[in-house]
Structures are given as structure tokens and as C-alpha cells.
């Protein structure tokens, strides 16, 4: 069984207050479970208005759907209600506090299909249910490192054990940046181009620093020193110089830039050598600022190389026009 799953009871408990939900039928039946693998089909969506041909995982019945059922012949209506419950949805939800049809109540009770009533409108139900289910069942991964918010972007600091990640994070917190998670941040792909990083409940607000032990950052520096979650935009990788080859000429200009594949996204990564006397906090801040500039189309390295090319171009033209200069 997949670790990424959600039950009908968990969904009800999570959204009961926000959607004003009330359980009408099959409250005592074994909870239905929706796994991430079941969401890979193209046509069925996680939540939507009543669909018999391609049943949604959560079927929403609004005014139009109930009126359509009422207009059907008794035999056809019974067959359609059977199709609804036979599809084994995670739940069926009636919107706007409307009265649930008696035959639907009976069919739901007999089949163990959770039937809920909400005071919210149909489109609000669909939007909130779709968002919640998509987030709960989204692909996720745990990475080793310290996840920070710096200049409004999420920065993951990685490196081998003992490279100084936590010490760097502590100094960055003292400089006004915010801690999201230490040691094991969790990243969830909530959209095709968005990785949302958060902290496991066990490690919330905590930072482990060698020699000092476990620190509670919130208690030491205040509520503004921590952040609940942040989108991952940049990875700063710390490395010891003897573990890496010497930088090439182009890396001296552009920096040691690369990417790291996280789930289905390539995240920009910059590698910083750890050496005595280097202020890693300042360098990490500069890396974050540089990344922000690059996202805006400002690249100092590209501008420098363009200037260099422009400077060499007249000299090359003069050599081509001077008859005293010949090729050997």
C-alpha cells in the first residue's frame, strides 16, 4: 500500500469546519481510502460535479444535479444511483444544505458510501476538495540539508556531514533570515513547476548545532525567525575543496552553477567551497541575491563576457585590415 493516501474520515476531519460538513450516511462503515496511484488515470478528477461516465473520486451534487435526478424515470434513476455507489467514490457531497434524496441515502448506507452535506456552494466545494486532495497526494521527498527563507525565496543548504550547514543556518538566522527545517526538510510537488518545502512535526523550530546540541530557534530568536513552509528556488551546496576538481576558467566567471533533479524539477544549484576565513553567510546571501537577479534577466557574467567580446572585436578587425599581418 502506498504511503501517499487519504481516507474518507481523514478528509472529512480536515475539511469539516471549513466546508461546514455533516455526515449523512455510512458514518460507521469502514473508511474508504484513496491512494496516489489511483489518481494517475487521465479522465477522472479528484473532485468534481456528478460524472457517471468517468466518475470523480469525490462526487459533488449541486442544485442542477439533484434536479436532473428528480426528472428521471424511476427505473433510470435507480440505475444511475446504483452506478454512483458502485463506482466506490471516496465520498458523495451534497451542496448548499439541500435535502438528500431518500433513495440516495439508502443506497449510500447499504453500500458503505460516505454521504456528506455541506452548506457551501458547489464550485467552492469542488475547488477546495480538489486543492486539498491534490496537495495530500502530491509526490514528495525528504532531502538532507537545512531549508531557509532568504530574501523571500526558499534556499536549501546541502553538503556532507560536518560541512557546517547548521552553523551557517544559525548565522543566517542571526542576520534576519528564517528557518524552515533542519536536517530533513520535506518537499512536495504541488504544481508542475512548484516544490513546496516544509518541516516534519518532530523537528519543528529545532536546529542541531555541533557543540551546542539542539536549539529551539523560535524561543531564542522569536516567532519571526521561523517559517512554516516555502517554495524551493535555489540549492547552495557546501563542499570541501579537496573533494572537488579545481575550478575551470569559465567557472571563475560564472560561478560553479548547476542543477539538481528533485522529483520532476531541475532546481538551480550553486556550489560553494568551504575554506578557513571564508564568510559563508555573506557568500550564501550573495548567491541568493545573484539568483534573484538571474530570474529577472540580469546576469553580470554574461554582461562581462559581452563587454570582453566587444573589446576584442575592433582589434580583430584591425588585424584583418592590416596587410602587414599575415597568417602562418
What is the set of active-site residues?
144, 165, 183, 252
Q: Tell me how far apart the 2 most distant CA atoms of the chain are, in Å.
A: 102
Residues 182, 206: contact at Cβ < 8 Å?
Answer: yes
How far is it, in rounded angstroms, from Cα 130 to Cα 124? 10
Write out the three cell numbers for 276.
Answer: 578557513
Neighbours of 170 (CB within 10 A): 22
Cα distances (Å, whole numbers) of residue 144 to 262, 279, 287: 12, 22, 20
How far is it, in rounded angstroms, from Cα 44 to Cα 245? 51
Residues 11, 134: contact at Cβ < 8 Å?
Answer: no
How far is it, in rounded angstroms, from Cα 51 to Cα 223? 46
Write out the three cell numbers for 263.
Answer: 522529483
How far is it, in rounded angstroms, from Cα 275 to Cα 326? 48
The single-letter DSSP state of residue 174 is H
Cα distances (Å, whole numbers) of residue 187 to 125, 151, 164, 216: 26, 20, 22, 22
How far is it, in rounded angstroms, from Cα 78 to Cα 71? 12
Which sign does the torsion angle of CA 216, 260, 141, 135 carry?
positive
Amino acid at each position: 500500500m502506498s504511503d501517499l493516501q487519504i481516507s474518507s474520515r481523514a478528509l472529512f476531519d480536515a475539511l469539516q469546519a471549513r466546508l461546514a460538513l455533516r455526515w449523512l450516511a455510512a458514518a460507521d462503515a469502514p473508511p474508504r481510502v484513496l491512494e496516489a496511484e489511483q489518481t494517475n488515470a487521465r479522465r477522472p478528477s479528484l473532485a468534481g460535479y456528478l460524472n457517471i461516465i468517468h466518475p470523480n473520486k469525490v462526487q459533488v451534487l449541486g442544485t442542477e444535479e439533484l434536479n436532473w435526478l428528480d426528472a428521471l424515470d424511476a427505473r433510470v434513476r435507480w440505475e444511475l444511483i446504483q452506478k454512483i455507489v458502485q463506482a466506490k467514490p471516496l465520498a458523495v457531497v451534497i451542496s448548499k444544505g439541500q435535502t438528500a434524496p431518500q433513495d440516495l441515502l439508502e443506497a449510500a448506507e447499504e453500500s458503505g458510501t460516505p454521504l456528506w452535506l455541506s452548506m457551501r456552494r458547489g464550485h467552492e466545494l469542488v475547488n477546495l476538495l480538489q486543492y486539498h486532495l491534490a496537495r495530500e497526494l502530491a509526490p514528495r521527498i525528504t532531502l538532507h540539508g537545512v531549508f531557509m527563507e532568504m530574501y523571500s525565496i526558499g534556499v536549501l543548504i546541502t553538503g556532507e556531514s560536518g560541512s557546517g550547514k547548521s552553523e551557517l543556518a544559525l548565522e543566517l538566522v542571526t542576520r534576519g533570515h528564517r528557518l524552515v527545517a533542519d536536517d530533513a526538510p520535506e518537499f512536495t510537488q504541488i504544481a508542475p513547476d512548484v516544490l513546496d518545502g516544509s518541516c516534519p512535526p518532530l523537528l519543528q523550530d529545532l536546529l542541531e548545532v555541533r557543540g551546542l546540541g539542539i536549539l529551539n530557534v523560535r524561543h531564542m530568536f522569536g516567532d519571526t525567525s521561523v517559517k512554516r513552509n516555502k517554495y524551493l528556488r535555489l540549492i547552495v551546496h557546501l563542499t570541501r575543496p579537496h573533494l572537488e576538481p579545481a575550478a575551470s576558467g569559465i567557472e571563475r566567471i560564472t560561478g560553479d552553477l548547476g542543477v539538481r533533479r528533485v522529483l520532476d524539477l531541475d532546481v538551480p544549484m550553486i556550489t560553494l567551497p568551504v575554506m578557513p576565513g571564508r564568510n559563508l553567510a555573506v557568500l550564501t546571501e550573495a548567491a541568493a541575491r545573484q539568483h534573484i537577479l538571474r530570474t529577472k534577466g540580469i546576469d553580470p557574467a554574461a554582461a562581462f563576457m559581452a563587454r570582453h567580446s566587444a573589446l576584442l572585436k575592433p582589434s580583430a578587425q584591425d588585424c584583418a585590415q592590416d596587410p602587414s599581418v599575415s597568417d602562418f
